Amino acid sequence: MALSSGLSEVSQTDAVLVQRALAGDQAAYAELMARHRRRLERYAWFLLGNREDAEEVLQDTFLRAFRGLDRCQEPSRVGTWMFRILVNRCRSRLAKVDLIERGATADAAFAVAPSEGESERGEWREEIERALKELTPDQREAFLLKHVEDFSYQEIESLTGAPASALRMRVLRACEGLRRRLREGSRDYV
């Protein structure tokens, strides 16, 4: 199934970089990583909730993508193809590790320290990240893919293998959960 949003915008240059990387040109692959990392790291960060795991899955994703690059059937959409690998890596990671049990360590790692004058925003951000972590992994995954990464339900179905009806329900529950948790004490930031 073709994926079409965001990262998947057709780019001739991506296709050329893939060809060069397949020929062993590491600089070309470094350029591909730099080009697509922002969205990949955002997803890994918000889904997993701590730097250690997010870095590990991102590194694993880039390595697997390089080693399987000849299996990328649409080189001009290599970014979406990498995203698919990342989604699977994150799922495997969540299955192996009970991230919620990491408690305070994860909280400290997750929080982005606000710069001076941004403390209010920093508190709001911390509230959001706490609320995100209280969702189930399935809900968090569906919410991030749908509303932050802007994939359609059809595309998320293709990425995750979960039926669209279940995905809609997860997104709905995620929105309800976020609304309930954040309304309690964070109205000032909205």
Closest CA to 46 of 166, 165, 174, 172: 174
In the complex, minimum distance from the CB of residue 55 to another protein, in angstroms, rounded to a whole number: 5
CB of 27 vs another protein, minimal distance in Å = 9
Structure-block tokens of residue 94: 């969540």
Q: In the range 92-111, which residues lie near another protein by CB under 8 A?
A: none
Burial class (CB in 10 A: 0-12, 13-18, 19+), 161: exposed
Range in contact with another protein (rule: CB under 8 A) among 10-18, 95-103, 117-125: 117-125
Single-letter code of the amino acid located at 90: C
Taking Cα atoms as reference points, which of 154, 79, 106 lies closest to residue 145? Answer: 154
Q: Are 93 and 48 in contact (CB under 8 A)?
A: yes
Task: Tell whether residue 153 is a contact of another protein (CB under 8 A).
Answer: yes
Task: Compute the least distance from the CB of residue 44 to another protein, in Å.
Answer: 7
Candidates 25, 31, 85, 32; CA nearest to 58 is: 85
- Chain centroid, CA 160 distance in Å: 12
Which of the stretches 8-16, 46-54, 98-106 binds another protein when contact is defined by CB under 8 A?
A: 46-54
Whole-number Å distance between alpha carbons of 159 and 88: 8
Q: Is 38 in the site for another protein (CB under 8 A)?
A: yes
Single out the segment in contact with another protein by CB under 8 A; choices: 8-16, 94-102, 122-130. 122-130
Interface contacts to another protein, rule CB under 8 A: 24, 26, 29-30, 33-34, 37-38, 41-42, 44-46, 51, 54-55, 58-59, 62-64, 66-68, 70-73, 81, 84-85, 88-89, 112, 121, 124-125, 128, 131, 144, 147-148, 152-154, 158, 161, 168, 175, 178-179, 182-183, 186-187, 189-190
